[in-house]
């Protein structure tokens, strides 16, 4: 039988850049440990931040991501019309659309089944984006013994 779980995780405010948030997501959804198999869908509820999976070991990768996206989607383009919220706003919307607002990650034995070198990144594309909200929806089969204990 398929069970469902949904939690909203509020990520701490971070400066502009790419940040590993895997642990913060996992800790924000303790019920994930009840699932033997399933899927976790993560959806960021913002238009100027994104979620992506990538290298979880080297901080150089996160810095390279930020530098690349700043070159690819620069601020201050003369053709931008949506500028009333600051010079970082329109580029933030474009970066968020390029990277995406959601991830689907398998669950195995009560954990996100990420690869050895994979981590969940928050792409914070604003200079001061504030706390970010991620809706996590899990569906799958629960371990009956653990579910009965909660």
pTM tops 0.85, yes or no: yes
Residue 80 lies in a domain: no
pLDDT digits (tens, 9 = 90+) for 2-56: 999 999 999 999 999 999 999 999 999 999 999 999 999 999 999 999 999 999 9
Assess if residue 56 is contained within a domain: yes
Residue 36 belongs to domain with CATH number: 2.60.120.460
Indicate the helix (H) or strand (E) that contains 43: strand 35-44
* Confidence class for position 94, pLDDT limits 50, 70, 90: very high
**Predicted pLDDT of residue 144:** 77
Q: H/E element holding 63?
A: helix 59-72
Let me know if residue 81 belongs to a domain.
no
In this prediction, residues 135-143 reach a mean pLDDT of 97
Q: How many domains does the chain have?
A: 1
State the Cα–Cα distance between residues 136 and 57, nearest whole angstrom: 24
Domain carrying residue 95: 3-74+86-149
């Amino acid at each position: 039988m398929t069970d469902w779980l949904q939690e909203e995780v509020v990520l701490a405010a971070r400066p502009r850049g790419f940040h590993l948030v895997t642990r913060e997501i996992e800790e924000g959804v303790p019920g994930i440990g009840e699932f033997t198999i399933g899927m976790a869908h993560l959806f960021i509820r913002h238009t100027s931040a994104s979620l992506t999976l990538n290298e979880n070991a080297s901080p150089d990768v996160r810095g390279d991501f930020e530098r690349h996206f700043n070159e690819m989607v620069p601020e201050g383009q003369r053709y931008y019309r949506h500028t009333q919220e600051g010079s970082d706003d329109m580029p933030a919307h474009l970066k968020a659309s390029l990277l995406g607002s959601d991830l689907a990650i398998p669950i195995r034995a009560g954990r996100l089944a990420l690869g050895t070198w994979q981590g969940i990144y928050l792409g914070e594309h604003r200079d001061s984006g504030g706390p970010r909200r991620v809706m996590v929806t899990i569906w799958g089969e629960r371990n009956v013994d653990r579910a009965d204990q909660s």
